[in-house]
Amino acid sequence: MITKNRGSGAAVVIPSEGNWHKGSGGTGEEQTDRQYARNPCQIQQVQVDNAPILVRLEGMVEELAEAQSKPRIEAKFRKPTLNDGQSLWRMARDSQVLDLNSSYSYLLWSRDFSDTSVMATVDGEPAGFITGYMRPGEPDTLMVWQVAVDHEFRGRKLAAEMLDRLATQVRAERVETTITADNEASIRLFAGFASRREAPMEREPLFTAELYPDGHDTEYLYRIGPLT
């Protein structure tokens, strides 16, 4: 679950052809018809109000890729071990974006779902992780649960490299994740992945706000595939 506890109920519709500059991820004011007419490659937003909606995103351009603001680093990648559980918890906490689960859950994940997760290290120090699992009813589909990069290593496309490696590691034919409407960084990450794999991306509401007992924005399901 990749979440940021703010946002609106706006769906993003991206033209299948042409270039565009940036997406709002469901926040900000809605583009008027006059603004859209001046720039037909601007993204358009459609209010959904928790109604079922499917948005197909194809023909992604490089602007969707994770922004790189610093030089790439030499990272090593491996499956997390039980000893990494505390590092996963710390990076999730420090992200200030992810839902922080109990430390126990990260230990459990490191033990039971290590084969479908990845850990990045730089000079032996934890730098980032992705946790995921193969869906029981769709064993060729990787469901990505959380993605985090330590603040010291952000802006170096480490999340994108981890996602590419994990999808290859588990031989996924499809990738799924859930993202709240205003988490632009995660939307860019997965849209960039879809672009690199030349795969379509679909979006629809999955866990809507009324399903939560504790107040939570709608989580939208992003489904990418088939992968090439």
In a domain, 2, yes or no: no
Q: What is the pLDDT of residue 97?
A: 85
In a domain, 82, yes or no: yes
Domain boundaries, position 98: 10-224
What burial letters (b/e) apply to 53-89, b meaning 16+ CB within 10 Å?
bebebeebeeebbbeeeeeeeebebeebeeebbebbb
Residue recorded with tokens 């999955």: 206
- Residues 177-203 have pLDDT tens digits of 999 999 999 999 999 999 999 999 999
Tally the domains of the chain: 1
In a domain, 194, yes or no: yes
User: What pTM did the predictor assign?
Assistant: 0.71
In a domain, 107, yes or no: yes
What CATH number corresponds to the domain at position 207? 3.40.630.30
Q: What is the pLDDT of residue 62?
A: 32
Helix (H, G, I), strand (E, B) or coil at 183: coil
Q: 135-140, long-range: CB within 8 Å, 24+ apart, which pairs?
A: 135/176, 138/174, 140/171, 140/172, 140/173, 140/174
In a domain, 85, yes or no: yes
Q: What is the pLDDT of residue 96?
A: 87
